[in-house]
Amino acid sequence: MDRDSRIPPPYEEIPQTPGAKLAPGNVEESDRHLLPVPSPSPSLAGTKLDDSNYDEFRRLSISPSPCPSPIPMGRLPRNGTELHGDATPSRWQVFWARNKPAALVALSQFFGALMNLSARLVELEGSGMHPVQVLLMRQFMTACCCSTYMWWSKTPDFPFGKKEIRWLLWLRGLSGYWGIYGVWYSMMYLPLADATVITFLAPGVAGFICWFALREPFTRIEQLATLVALLGVVLIARPTSLFSHSGEEQDPSTTGPPEAGIPGADHEATSEERLVAVGVALVGVLGAAGAFTTLRTIGKRAHPLISVNYFGVISTILSTLFLIFAPILDVAQPGLRWVNPSTAKQWLLLLPLGILGFIMQYLLTSGLGADKSNRANAMVYTHMLFAASFDRWVFGHRMGLMSGAGCTLILGSAIGVVLIKKSPPPKVPADDVERRGNLVGEAEGSPMLLPDSGTSEEMRISR
């Protein structure tokens, strides 16, 4: 073959200006110049390479771009707005997107404080209502709603869950019952803020239980914060042996328990009643910590609604048994008995308990699930602000100096642990050796000091 026959025609035959349009024939001719077309084989000598065969050949050709368009990124936009959407987000939209998880958690605590406020008003309204009966009515509604929804949505493993974790689900229901009972019982004798702040001991106690039972880390900072919080509980309890001169002497004839066995709204708790209420609240802390531990052990092996349903069903069963057998055995009488709601106000306070609890759980789950930092966790402690506000504006109670100091110690230690605690480092695949070395180097400061088969965790242990 002659050498000149392999040289393509001069490039002057192809339009060079950007605005020039190529005719179909010129496009095909230019493609023949840019793409080397192999010579036809002897078997195809008599065939003609038409446009359809040529287009099929182009589609089968190897190209660095997966886009069939001659422009790799597609057609250029007519103006600059198409690149960024119809409009740029406003400052409010940016602020909401950044702080939405924390706002949802704070809003959930507002509904949780409303639920506790309704429960306390029901307990102290009129002749009073024992917390066991309030729990029965609230948890019965919760169990009915959860069971109906899971039956309708055909939730997997409904209603009992997987066989290997049923004992954990029962333990979660039992511990959760005593957790909420401790709070609602203490609200009869303690202000709403004092009864609420004691519950913030639960994360520290849960950390100790997880360290003892599950061998999870329980740092020195968390241990110190738990001890400081316990000191705050002592200041709130104000036992007579330690604070005999901190307040005025009360007349037992005017401050003793009422005939109904349940204190009224104007009842001033004695030192003994206050100490018993704090003790029951601490039992509630143990129950809440047990619920946290069992939920952490269960993990994702059970649907969240199955766990909530166990909590509601077990609470309903226990409350019913207590209300039946307590009068027969003459236990905690005459307070622990069934009382029919006598006024419309009591019904209006009882019915929203289940709704407020459901809204609180939904907002709390949504906020914590969407947050990757500790800001949303810190918003849990806004519950204390709402409780103190309700104490001031609903019950007319002002926090004393000792209670304020105790609340400050508990809140400060709990918030400090949340803010100081660092998030775990991202998990790196085992085959990503280069990135794993970079992460280890950032953790230790000098990756070359690590042994070939060691990790930063092994070096910290060896130190």
Instruction: Give CA–CA dist 77/82, Å, rounded.
Output: 6
Tell whether 142 is covered by a domain: yes
Which tokens belong to 287? Answer: 């129950």
Q: Is residue 93 predicted with pLDDT exceeding 70? A: yes
Q: Judge residue 81's burial from the number of C-beta atoms within 10 Å of its C-beta, 0-12 exposed, 13-18 middle, 19 or more buried.
A: exposed
Indicate whether 437 and 336 sit together in one domain: no
Q: At what angle do helices 166-186 and 304-329 cross, to 10 degrees?
A: 60
Which pLDDT tens digit goes with each residue over 161-219?
Answer: 999 999 999 999 999 999 999 999 999 898 888 888 898 888 888 888 888 887 888 88
Instruction: Give CA–CA dist 412/428, Å, rounded.
Output: 35
Indicate whether 321 and 457 sit together in one domain: no
Instruction: Give CA–CA dist 295/169, Å, rounded.
Output: 8
Mean per-residue pLDDT for 118-134?
86
Band (pLDDT 50/70/90 cuts) for residue 115 is very high
Listed residue (179, 205, 135) closest to 288, CA to CA = 179
Band (pLDDT 50/70/90 cuts) for residue 318 is very high
Q: CA 327: distance to chain centroid?
A: 41
Q: Judge residue 60's burial from the number of C-beta atoms within 10 Å of its C-beta, 0-12 exposed, 13-18 middle, 19 or more buried.
A: exposed
**Exposed e or buried b per residue across 245-256, where buried means at least 16 C-beta atoms within 10 angstroms of its C-beta:** eeeeeeeeeeee
Q: Is residue 451 predicted with pLDDT exceeding 90? A: no
Number of helices followed by number of strands (H, E) in the chain: 18, 0
**Contact present, 194 and 397 (Cβ < 8 Å):** no
DSSP state of 190: S
Q: Is 0.75 topped by the overall pTM? A: no
Which tokens belong to 254? Answer: 């005017």
Average pLDDT, the chain: 73
Band (pLDDT 50/70/90 cuts) for residue 419 is confident
Listed residue (253, 226, 197, 205) closest to 402, CA to CA = 197
**Domain containing residue 450:** 433-462
Tell whether 286 is covered by a domain: yes
Instruction: Give CA–CA dist 202/222, Å, rounded.
Output: 12
Indicate whether 157 and 202 sit together in one domain: yes
Span of 30-34, 252-256, 378-382 with lowest mean pLDDT: 252-256
Indicate whether 293 and 177 sit together in one domain: yes
SS3 of the chain: helix, strand, coil, percent, to 5:
65, 0, 35
**Contact present, 277 and 188 (Cβ < 8 Å):** yes
Tell whether 250 is covered by a domain: no
Indicate whether 305 and 453 sit together in one domain: no
Instruction: Give CA–CA dist 444/455, Å, rounded.
Output: 10
What is the tally of structural domains in the chain?
2
Q: Is residue 50 predicted with pLDDT exceeding 60? A: no
Indicate whether 178 and 313 sit together in one domain: yes
The proportion of the chain whose per-residue pLDDT surpasses 90, expressed as a percent, equals 17
Indicate whether 337 and 443 sit together in one domain: no
Mean per-residue pLDDT for 12-28?
49
Q: Is residue 254 predicted with pLDDT exceeding 60? A: no
Instruction: Give CA–CA dist 188/194, Å, rounded.
Output: 11
Tell whether 330 is covered by a domain: yes
Which pLDDT tens digit goes with each residue over 344-374?
Answer: 888 888 888 888 887 887 787 677 667 666 6
**Contact present, 118 and 129 (Cβ < 8 Å):** no
Mean per-residue pLDDT for 273-288?
91
Position 348 scores a pLDDT of: 86
Position 445 scores a pLDDT of: 38
Indicate whether 449 and 306 sit together in one domain: no
Q: Is residue 376 predicted with pLDDT exceeding 60? A: yes
**Exposed e or buried b per residue across 209-226, where buried means at least 16 C-beta atoms within 10 angstroms of its C-beta:** bbeeeeeeebeeebeebb
Q: Greater confidence, 273 or 38?
A: 273
Q: Is residue 315 predicted with pLDDT exceeding 50? A: yes
Which tokens belong to 387? Answer: 């409780």
Indicate whether 284 and 150 sit together in one domain: yes
